[in-house]
Amino acid sequence: MWGDGGGRVITARRLEKRFGDKRVLRGLDFELPRGATLLVTGANGSGKTTLLRLCAGLAAPTRGELEVRAQRRDIGYLGHEPLVYRELTALENLELYGRLYRVPERRERIGMLLERFGLWDARGERAGSFSRGMLQRLALCRALLHEPELLLLDEPFNALDSEGAALLDAELAELARERTLLVATHDPERLAPFATGTLALA
Amino acid sequence: MSGYAQDVVALARKDLTLELRARDTLPAMLLFVLSMLVVFHFVLPAGGSRLAANGLLWVAIVFTALLGLTRAFAAEREHGLLDGLVLAPCDRSAIWLGKSIAMLGFLVAAEVVALPAFALFFGAVDGTTVAAVALANLGICAVGTLIAAMASAGRARELLLPLLFLPLSIPIVIGGVGATVADDPGRYLAFLALYDALFAVLSWASFEYVVTE
């Protein structure tokens, strides 16, 4: 459910974020319409991750306005860290998040995602034993588990092998038709087929 | 069971499962509290004051709790997992309550070993002392978990946690020692209960501001 009506999911006006003396984002203006897929590009340190964290509510702007018309349960976030407990199994991690997000028919949804991302056979293994690519797949399962309306993805292809990247290509193509996506990426060409716009950070 | 209670249970169970698998908090707490009691046994002269021994029991409990609290948010800190919990649509105080319950479990487990060891070295432990320890545990875990979360976000977390926790644990020590040695322990037990209630409510209400920017 969206918090408000209207066609824009995210509206930023003169958005600024500082960490001490360092200004990471300066006077940023953008809008993310509902159903759009906006790519965020820029060099390392240009503020892509910071922007996604601001939109997720994990950080607060130093100045300016940022309006995100989505409740927490409607946001799926994939960051640099997979946000999974290494001592828990893949299944236990998704069970935990499934409970916290009140995912209906949780077991079925978890099983379907694990199958789709090729982790079903590893479901009983601790996440700490996973390769970086498997962790990224598990992180994608976690981010998509509650079927969020707004997806904030930070370098989603990071660490994925060709098979994993192909799976994600297909998933993102489907998601882009139904959801609103804000994707930070160094590889905009890969996402160009379904992107509706690009936000280049200096 | 309400949604809030389900969240708390899921989060506390997660912490207990992590400890069962990693075993990096409870064994350290057990070893530490037993080592302290052995040291105290040799520090106090033979036939030494019972009052002094009772005081040392509280020193052992507070510092053992402090040791456990340094690890309370270790899993979340090491892999940025607090972000994952903060993003979830559950009430953020459930994170504090789940963590406090798990911490309480570790502390009680350490005391199940420590109190008989104390009795062995220094003489029997009476019911009043057990009641005081139980009440003190609630306050320690309520306040300690909040401060551990604050400290986990800072750079000098190893320094920050004892600097913040020890002053706030002084009323617990006063209440605990008072209940253990006074002729009328009721007042001190009531004081501990009041401390627990007050700081549990404060911690519950303020946790959200600790974990969000």
- pLDDT (tens digit per residue) in A144-188: 999 999 999 999 999 999 999 999 999 999 999 999 999 999 999
DSSP reduced 3-state for A52: helix
A5 belongs to a structural domain:
no
A101 contacts B89? CB cut-off 8 A: yes
Region A49-59: mean pLDDT is: 96
Task: Judge whether residue A1 has pLDDT over 70.
Answer: no
In chain B, whose CA is at the least distance from the CA of A98? Answer: B88
Total domains in the fold of chain A: 1
Within-domain flag for A76: no
Domain spans, chain B: 3-211
In a domain, A141, yes or no: yes
Whole-structure pTM value: 0.92
pLDDT of A71 strictly over 80: yes
φ, ψ for residue B54, nearest 5 deg:
-65, -40
Q: Chain A residue with minimal CA distance to B74?
A: A85
Q: Which residue of A has its CA nearest to B7?
A: A100
The complex scores an ipTM of 0.90
Inter-chain contact A58–B7, Cβ cutoff 8 Å? no
Q: What are phi and psi of A150, to 5 degrees?
A: -115, 120
Q: What percent of chain A has pLDDT over 70?
A: 97
What percentage of chain B has pLDDT greater than the value 70?
100
Would A33 be classed as within a structural domain? no
* Per-residue pLDDT tens over the stretch B39-81: 999 998 777 788 899 999 999 999 999 999 999 999 998 899 9
- The DSSP H or E segment spanning A143 is helix A132-144
Task: Answer whether residue A90 is part of any domain.
Answer: yes
Q: Which residues of A touch B85 (CB under 8 A)?
A: 100
Q: What is the pLDDT of residue A3?
A: 43
What rounded mean pLDDT belongs to chain A?
Answer: 94
Q: Which of A100, A129, A141 to mutate to test the interface with B (most CBs of B within 10 A)?
A: A100
Residue A173 lies in a domain: no
Judge contact between B177 and B54, C-beta under 8 A: yes
Min Cα–Cα distance to chain A from B114, Å: 28
Q: Is A84 on the interface with B (CB under 8 A)?
A: yes
Q: Give a yes or no: residue A22 inside a domain.
A: no
What is the full DSSP assignment across chain B?
A: --HHHHHHHHHHHHHHHHHHHH--SHHHHHHHHHHHHHHHHHHSPTT--HHHHHHHHHHHHHHHHHHHHHTTTHHHHHTTHHHHHHHSSS-THHHHHHHHHHHHHHHHHHHHHHHHHHHHHH-PPPHHHHHHHHHHHHHHHHHHHHHHHHHHTSTTHHHHHHHHHHHHHHHHHHHHHHHHH-S-THHHHHHHHHHHHHHHHHHHHHHHHHH--
The string of DSSP codes covering B117-140 is HHHHHH-PPPHHHHHHHHHHHHHH
Q: What is the pLDDT of residue B135?
A: 98
Q: What percent of chain B has pLDDT over 90?
A: 85
Range of the structural domain that residue A107 is part of = 86-147
